[in-house]
């Protein structure tokens, strides 16, 4: 069974790949490039919604840091997603949610 940390990493990397392919297809005006962008948005939601839930439920961080993560995930999702999934998740997520 895949744990939540591995799931978030996999969906984040999948989203970056789809976004890159969709952007290249859009630049070269290939047909159906919108499909890649749509799947990238869906992949973004599959990792950003669990991240937002973890941030809201965390008892390890204060309200101001929660607000920072929420704002980052809403405005700069690829950058905030990378920072959360690869750098800050172990510090923020509660131990009972990491299992």
Residue 1: per-residue pLDDT: 65
Residue 96: per-residue pLDDT: 52
Number of other residues whose CB lies within 10 A of the CB of residue 51 = 25
Which sequence spans correspond to the domains of the chain?
4-90
How far is Cα 42 from Cα 5, in angstroms, rounded to an integer? 19
Each residue's pLDDT, cut to its tens digit, for the chain (99 residues) gives 678 888 889 989 999 998 899 899 999 999 988 888 898 889 888 889 999 999 999 999 999 999 999 999 999 999 999 999 999 999 998 755 444
Backbone φ/ψ region at 2: left (φ over 0), alpha (ψ -120 to 50), beta:
beta
Longest dimension (CA), the chain: 47
């Amino acid at each position: 069974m895949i744990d939540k940390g591995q799931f978030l990493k996999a969906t984040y990397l999948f989203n970056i790949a789809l976004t890159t392919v969709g952007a290249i297809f859009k630049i070269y005006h290939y047909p159906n490039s919108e499909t890649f962008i749509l799947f990238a948005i869906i992949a973004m939601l599959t990792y950003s919604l669990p991240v937002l839930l973890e941030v809201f439920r965390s008892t390890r961080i204060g309200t101001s840091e929660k607000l920072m993560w929420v704002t980052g995930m809403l405005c700069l999702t690829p950058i905030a997603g990378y920072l959360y999934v690869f750098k800050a998740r172990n510090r923020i997520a509660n131990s009972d949610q990491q299992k």
